[in-house]
Chain A
Amino acid sequence: MTIEARFRLKRGSFTLDADLTVPAQCFTCILGPSGSGKTTLLRAIAGLTKCRDGYFRIGEYIWQEGDYYTPPHKRPLGYVFQEPSLFPHMLVKQNLEYGFKRIPALERRIKFEEAISLLGLQPFLERNSNSLSGGERQRVAIARAILTSPKLLLMDEPLASLDSESKRGIIPYLATLHTNLEIPVFYVSHSHDEIAQLADTLVFLDAGKVKKVTRITGRNTSIDLPLEPGKDNWAIIEAKVAGYDNEFNLTYADFSGGCFYIACGELPIDSPIRLRVMAGDVSLSLDFQEETSVLNIFPVYIEEISTNDAATMTVRLDLLGTPILAQITRKSAHALKLEKHKKVYAHIKNVALIH
């Protein structure tokens, strides 16, 4: 099952020329500088911006092809806009029911109570939508969208207008949403945190064109994320809780390249977790060093070295199939004579649990 989108659209000096295929059932993050066409792409997928030269298919359902064009209200999608956009003349409950009532009972895969409890909306149902805070409103907007039991959920920076506290509250909901309800999501975002916590697939847009599609597929695999060259790079690693050390209070997390020790509190055995390793937290040595405070040391092979600026470089490492990034100085690279395919030891000073 894949989702295939091709749209060509000219708006003044901007041209959208996007061609994209991603696996269905993925949480796809769409990234790119502002003005790169992220919102336009989502609007074209939704049919809100009528794109004459467009094609869209999800699984075996074609929404648009040549002259065939499904109007937005007949596309089984949910759309969450940047601003919550609740209907001001309706109570929260009426807002939630608006889309829910408009789909046939047989197509309601998501129960009303399910969405309400998932997003914690019980206390607000009888409230006027204007009396809610920004975060609460956006949660209502998300619930309203998923209550149409969409086949695809489009979210355009849904957390951009919220303060960091509200964001922290909503991100776990979004993650559960995707896993529990099995709805593919297209998610526009600028935030590294949101991407690290949610994405399976990344789509990079630039000047209306798809520059790159990278995947974080399934469990026990990972991918590097060159969001901006050299800056705040990190690798995501999918792992599984393998055990807990009661004496030192450390969690063991198995991944395809071995086992991490993480100080993150006790977690249920076998639960899937997502870890993030910042490039700046990885240092390299030529020999295995026993006497060090770093717990997570792995033999790795250098896959690729790229220069960030005059002083620093990013090294892409292969840890038995799991890519990890290290940010080092050019001086160190020179001293260690780093080169492609060379075997080194990666010292990972910090592994952060994302969820």
Chain B
Amino acid sequence: MLTENDISALWITFKLAGLTTLILLLLGTPLAWWLANTRNRFKTIIEAVVALPLVLPPTVLGFYFLIVLGPYGPLGKLMLLTGGHSLAFTFAGLVVGSVFYSMPFVVQPLQNAFITIGKRSMEVAATLRASPVDRFFSIALPLARPGFLTATVLGFAHTVGEFGVVLMIGGNIPGETHVLSIAIYDHVESLEYGQAHVLAGGLLVISFILLLLVYGLNRRFRIVFS
């Protein structure tokens, strides 16, 4: 039913989404914490930059990434000079693009979760001798659990569904940058509707189940802890 090409696309897609989500959680958590707590005047600018992928057509984002990461772009040149090679049309390039593309889907739920916790619990923890780092891990992280669940699933699902950015900076190299959404596009282009159905339908069902799980778990969490 699935061609070898389809299976490879599936694997690349999930590898890309998994890696992107992991990187975003590691980078996004401190960023979201900072945004939730700072009164710095640059906060608004950073928030706007993080939200950009929500409003920009993915092709615009992909186009600029291609320019920056390509062999003639500033980053691409730097990579070549330091003995590496351009990230354009590579899996690594896809990861970099996806991290930016999916950033709001991870940072915003986390930021909201941190804001919801409020200052009080953290202040109480401070008067109970917990250092700032200690407070973050013992109070903020556990209380922000629904936010982390939402962020993980949205970040992952959104990366799985990306198309425009991938097309621009990844091209369509089988086994390297040939992802699920492009595989579906290819099948439709070649009028292989049956195979398109398998991939598209599968994606639809999986996404729906994932979201159902997230909302269900978050609801339970809120009931228990409210």
- A interface residue numbers (CB < 8 A to B): 46, 48, 71-74, 77-79, 81, 83, 85, 87-89, 98-99, 102-103, 128, 130, 144-145, 148
Contacts and interface: CB of A to CB of B under 8 A. Distances in A.
By secondary structure, the B interface counts as: helix
A88 B225 contact: yes
A77 B127 contact: yes
Contacts of B145: 89
Given A87-B139, A89-B142, A48 B127 contact: yes
A99 B142 contact: no
B128 A144 contact: yes
A46 B225 contact: no
B226 interface: yes
B124 interface: yes
21 contacts: A48-B126, A72-B126, A72-B127, A73-B125, A73-B128, A73-B129, A73-B134, A74-B129, A83-B120, A87-B121, A87-B124, A87-B143, A89-B145, A98-B130, A99-B129, A102-B129, A102-B130, A130-B224, A130-B226, A145-B128, A148-B127
Chain B, interface size category, equals: 20 to 34
B123 interface: yes
Contacts of B124: 79, 81, 85, 87
B131 interface: yes
A14 B128 CA distance: 29
Contact of B225 (A71, A81, A89, A148): A89
A71 B143 CA distance: 23
Contact of A130 (B120, B125, B225): B225
B125 A98 contact: yes
Contact of B121 (A77, A79, A85, A148): A85
A77 B134 CA distance: 18
Contacts of A46: 127
Contacts of A81: 120, 123-124
A148 B130 CA distance: 11
B126 A102 contact: no
Contacts of A71: 126
Contacts of A89: 142-143, 145, 225
Contact of A98 (B128, B132, B224, B225): B128
B143 to A, nearest CB: 6
Interface in B153-182: none
Contacts of B134: 73, 102
Nearest to A99: B128
